[in-house]
Amino acid sequence: MRAAFYTQKGSAKEVLQVGDVETPSPGPGEVRIRIAASGVNPSDVKKRQGMDLEFPQIIPHSDGAGEIDAVGNGVDETRIGERVWTINGQWQRPFGTAAEFISLPSKLAVSLPDGTDAAAGACLGIPVLTAYRALTIDGDVSGQTILVAGGAGAVGHYAVQIAKLHGAEVIATVSSPEKAAHASAGGADHNIDYKRENVGERVQEITGGRGVDRIIEVDIAANAGLFPEVLRPGGTAVIYGSSNPMAEIPVLWCFRNDITFRFFIMYQLTDEVRGAAAAAINELLTAGSLQHAVAQSYPLNEIAQAHEAVESGQVMGNVVVEV
């Protein structure tokens, strides 16, 4: 089969190759998926740039969508022909979705509802699951005011939408007028351009001096210092990302204000939590409740350009590789 792969870490153009590799066969409890579209996420880029090579050869990307064409022992043959989206395609595994085929445990291949195309399906595994978990990690958010950091990003855009669908008022931080328009299209009630406005002052103005109930945080290392300016006493910070492995947190203020921190990583959700989230996401897809922003699409042989687009940080929406 044709696949993109790398055997050493480095820049996209230096290390990413496209060629023929062995076609996988589904093992017990697995399905094989003929991939139509593969999603590129920041985590895929970071893995390629990291210090340690996890496996001798890596086919990147965890997210993808396609059709099951074979099943292993223990999997109902009626799944053959089913359109699916993938979860954890390259998590702790050498071979991800940037290939014509991938074999995965059956539970990580989720039925893709009719009406959702493969490109949109390739955006679900990391961006939508992360956004959904961040909004539902500890209960109902209806009636809350929520600050979504990076509201025009891949996760942030879905977090804005899901928060609104759950009855919250949403404030999004953005870095340009174009990104403000993108966040507003997703349903953000207010946008704060952090490059041009004082985020703390604007949040206090919007909330009447109360602060937000919850922050959905993409980068705690960069933004934790803002928490005392934007988060109400008794509020919650839900963290799914950081630009640095260490973060300076205003601990004394957190003690005095009874602040709750919720950290999670989408890859390590339990089967029960992941399954419930995937089912809820499929309900939203079936109802046509989610907007998908596939900003750029590349053929497999231009995967290096796809990675560079994600690295640039300038893309509003998701980057997809068509296989």
Q: Hunting for tokens 């998908």 — which residue is that?
A: 292
The answer, yes or no, to whether residue 52 has pLDDT greater than 80, is no
**For residue 314, what pLDDT is reported?**
82
Cα distances (angstroms) measured from residue 33 to each of 20, 44, 201, 218, 256: 17, 20, 50, 31, 52
User: Which CATH number is 2-126+270-286+293-322 given?
Assistant: 3.90.180.10
Give me the phi and psi of 205, to 5 degrees please: -65, -45
Cα distances (angstroms) measured from residue 46 to each of 11, 54, 122, 240, 304: 10, 13, 19, 15, 14
Percent of the chain with pLDDT over 70: 100
List the chain domain ranges.
Answer: 2-126+270-286+293-322, 138-263
**Residue 234 confidence class, pLDDT cut points 50, 70, 90:** very high
Architecture of the domain spanning 138-263: 3-Layer(aba) Sandwich (3.40)
The answer, yes or no, to whether residue 197 has pLDDT greater than 90, is yes
Cβ neighbours around 267 below 10 Å, total: 17
Give the closest residue to 296 by CA, choosing from 272, 312, 285. Answer: 312
**For residue 66, what pLDDT is reported?**
98
CA atoms of 277 and 162, how far apart (whole Å)? 12
Read off the pLDDT of each residue in 274-279 and give the average, rounded to a whole number. Answer: 97
**Residue 315 confidence class, pLDDT cut points 50, 70, 90:** confident
Read off the pLDDT of each residue in 70-81 and give the average, rounded to a whole number. Answer: 98
Angle at alpha carbon of residue 9, lines to 6 and 14, rounded to 5°: 70
CA atoms of 7 and 106, how far apart (whole Å)? 28
